């Protein structure tokens, strides 16, 4: 029993880091511009396919491919912001919600036409790490490490660079930031680009250990919403911790009850947080 518990918890926590990274992207966009980005899931799926294509067609190591996927995610985020979100950024929340939902539908439609809904898989293995009863695929360990590195890089960017500080300023008070000469339109585009980049990278990391289709981003998008609320909307560090919490729960619950109870407990917790601490465990920013 102890062996199963340790094994389950390790699996859950490692996956939790990647959940966290995906949620950091979503929460950053919400925190800076209060936009609920419903194109988050398909962008994650595009990150999966980007890593897959570079691995399969160009023979790149999937972790090297992640750097290209990150650049793609950044540019693609700029594009989505410029074409779709910018025009409705000051409209009621429903407008931005529908705008990003439209992007979601377009990406899934085009993705289905190009890649079909047939699952794809990156045939890449780093072996497994065996410690006592714990048997962990190394790709999950590297993915967790990658998620920590990207989150740390985001933290350093936000706190120690001028554009990062500008993002924080715009998130705090857009009008005041504009009065200080910060070009808010560019900063919003940059924020959306970074959020999209993190989603694409999280997708790329997941693709190294799970097969995927163009529809695979959906469940992670849903988890990202739960994590954002758990950690505190708009709080990147809270999102990472929320991811760990969710991953840990997904590891622990199956040791004591059928796996089908996992969403019941997860969403039960989600409702409790909304009721008793709506700002999230670490507080909203």
d(CA 201, CA 206): 9
Which range binds another protein by CB under 8 A, 135-143, 185-193, 227-235, 270-278? 135-143
DSSP 8-state symbol, 260: G
Question: How far apart are alpha carbons 62 and 206 in whole angstroms?
Answer: 11
- Among the listed residues 79, 88, 97, 112, the single contact to another protein using CB under 8 A: 112
Q: State whether residue 172 is helix, strand or coil.
A: helix
Q: Which of 13, 15, 35, 245 binds another protein (CB under 8 A)?
A: 15
51 binds another protein (CB under 8 A): no
Is 51 within 8 Å of 139 (Cβ atoms)? no
Measured CA to CA, the distance from residue 194 to residue 190 in angstroms comes to 6
Contact 192, 25 (CB under 8 A): no
Query: Minimum distance from CB of 80 to another protein (Å)?
Result: 23
125/161 with CB nearer another protein: 125
Task: Give the C-alpha distances (Å, rounded to integers) separating 276 from 78, 100, 207, 230, 266.
Answer: 37, 30, 36, 11, 15
Decide: is 211 part of the binding site for another protein (CB under 8 A). yes
Beta strands in 5-153, from DSSP E residues, in sequence order: 128-131, 134-137
Residue 117 found at the interface with another protein (CB under 8 A): yes
Sign of torsion over alpha carbons 50, 54, 57, 61: negative
Q: How far is the CB of 255 from another protein (least distance, A)?
A: 8
Choose, by CB under 8 A, the member of 27, 196, 213, 224 that binds another protein. Answer: 213
Q: What is the DSSP letter of 212?
A: B
* Binder among 116, 161, 172, 173 for another protein (CB under 8 A): 116
Q: How far is Cα 189 from Cα 177, in angstroms, rounded to an integer?
A: 15
- Taking CB under 8 A as the rule, does residue 7 contact another protein? yes
DSSP summary character for residue 235? -
Tell which positions 249-278 bind another protein, by CB under 8 A.
250-251, 253-255, 258-260, 262-263
* Member of 219, 268, 278, 283 binding another protein (CB under 8 A): 219
Give the nearer residue to another protein in terms of CB position, either 56 or 185.
Answer: 56
User: Which tokens go with 232?
Assistant: 């505190």
CB of 57 to another protein, least distance (A): 14
The site for another protein, by CB under 8 A, has a size of: 39
Site residues (vs another protein, CB under 8 A):
4, 7-8, 11-12, 15, 112, 116-121, 123, 125, 128, 130, 135, 137, 139, 209-213, 215-216, 218-219, 250-251, 253-255, 258-260, 262-263
């Amino acid at each position: 029993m102890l062996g199963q518990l340790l094994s389950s918890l390790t699996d859950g926590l490692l996956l939790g880091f990647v959940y966290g990274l995906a949620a950091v992207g979503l929460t950053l966009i919400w925190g800076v511009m209060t936009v609920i980005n419903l194109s988050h899931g398909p962008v994650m799926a595009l990150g999966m396919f980007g890593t897959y294509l570079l691995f399969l067609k160009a023979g790149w190591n999937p972790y090297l491919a992640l750097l290209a996927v990150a650049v793609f995610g950044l540019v693609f985020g700029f594009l989505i912001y410029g074409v779709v979100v910018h025009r409705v950024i000051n409209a009621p929340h429903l407008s931005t919600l529908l705008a990003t939902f439209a992007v979601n539908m377009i990406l899934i439609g085009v993705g289905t036409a190009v890649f079909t809904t047939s699952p794809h898989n990156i045939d890449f293995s780093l072996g497994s790490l065996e410690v006592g009863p714990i048997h962990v695929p190394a790709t999950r360990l590297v993915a967790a490490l990658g998620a920590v590195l990207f989150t740390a890089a985001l933290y350093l960017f936000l706190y120690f660079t001028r554009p990062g500080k500008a993002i924080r300023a715009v998130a705090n008070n857009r009008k005041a930031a504009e009065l200080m000469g910060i070009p808010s339109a560019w900063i919003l585009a940059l924020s959306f680009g970074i959020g999209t980049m993190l989603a694409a990278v999280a997708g790329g990391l997941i693709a190294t250990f799970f097969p995927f289709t163009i529809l695979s981003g959906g469940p992670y998008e849903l988890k990202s919403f739960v994590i954002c609320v758990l950690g505190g909307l708009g709080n990147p560090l809270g999102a990472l911790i929320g991811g760990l919490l969710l991953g840990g729960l997904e590891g622990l619950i199956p040791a004591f009850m059928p796996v089908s109870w996992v969403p019941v407990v997860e969403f039960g917790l989600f409702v409790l947080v909304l009721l008793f601490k709506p700002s999230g465990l670490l507080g909203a920013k």
